[in-house]
Amino acid sequence: MKGKTALITGSATGLGRRTAVELAKQGVNLLINYVHSEEQAKTLIQQLQDEYGIKAAALQGDVSKEKDVERLVQQALAQTDGIDILINSAGPYIAERKKLTEYTPAEWNYLLHGNLSSVFYLSRLILPQMRQKRWGRIITFGFDRAEHTAGWMYRSAFAAAKTGLVSLTKTLAMEEASNGITVNMISPGDIIGKYKEADIQDARELEDPHTPVGRPGSGEDIARTVAFLCAEASDFITGAIIPVTGGKDVLNKYRYT
């Protein structure tokens, strides 16, 4: 992967940030996308350049908006020799527990476009230059059992968008396989708060009786899976939906409470 360029959406903080660090360790040049977290994005790119000697740049843009995506991709391609890896880390989420009738149309559209349409907006612009190189990696993020179109109480909009993204992920994998491009989904477990940027060793120091493996998940658990899928030797893995949950039943903890 050394020398490749990755665009990671929503990567100034959280899982996207921890993924950026992991790819930087592998020598991947990075485009850090953010909406409001400009200071964190600039701090991160300075850290990555200083520690790993890679090229890095921050790009502002809301990937739920088509015009923002067009501008973002134009800026990215103007600064690089092309985008080799697209990590769709940005995923709007409303923490408040709401039944479907309690969502406003604006909230519904925000979640749908931010989690599903954004991948369409980005892929249609980035895939043509991946095809020219005959190489590419696209990774999307889902949720536990999204591939089974499981119902998720109080998360109707988010769940609808992500289950649609499962089908889009698998379809793109089939359409682009002959072009040397793989497309896969990672379904993170219940990784929240500070753990989104934590290392595995930090998580191992804590007990979590609600997770079968006995510890909470960490950002590094997700980031290492991303790095594995981006590797040259991972070209036989495409159209896969990979849960990284520690064996936890994420959905059922909300179902009857």
CATH code of residue 75: 3.40.50.720
142 closest CA partner among 236, 216, 244: 244
Two structure tokens written together for 224: 């290492």
For residue 185, the SS3 value is: strand
pLDDT in tens, the chain (257 residues): 889 999 999 999 999 999 999 999 999 999 999 999 999 999 999 999 999 999 999 999 999 999 999 999 999 999 999 999 999 999 999 999 999 999 999 999 999 999 999 999 999 999 999 999 999 999 999 999 999 998 889 999 999 999 999 999 999 999 999 999 999 999 999 888 888 989 999 989 888 888 899 998 999 999 999 999 999 999 999 999 999 999 988 887 654 44
129 closest CA partner among 61, 74, 90: 74
Indicate the DSSP class of residue 102: G
Rounded to an integer, what distance in angstroms lies between the CA atom of residue 59 and that of residue 10?
10
116 closest CA partner among 135, 136, 90: 90
Number of structural domains (the chain) is: 1
**E-assigned strand segments in the chain:** 5-8, 29-34, 56-60, 85-88, 136-141, 181-188, 241-244
Distances (CA, A) of 142 to 45, 84, 168: 26, 21, 12
Two structure tokens written together for 84: 């080799």
pTM higher than 0.85, yes or no? yes
Query: Residue 56 belongs to what domain range?
Result: 5-255
Distances (CA, A) of 35 to 16, 48, 81, 174: 13, 20, 24, 31
Give the pLDDT score at 257. 42
Indicate the DSSP class of residue 65: S
Indicate the DSSP class of residue 149: T
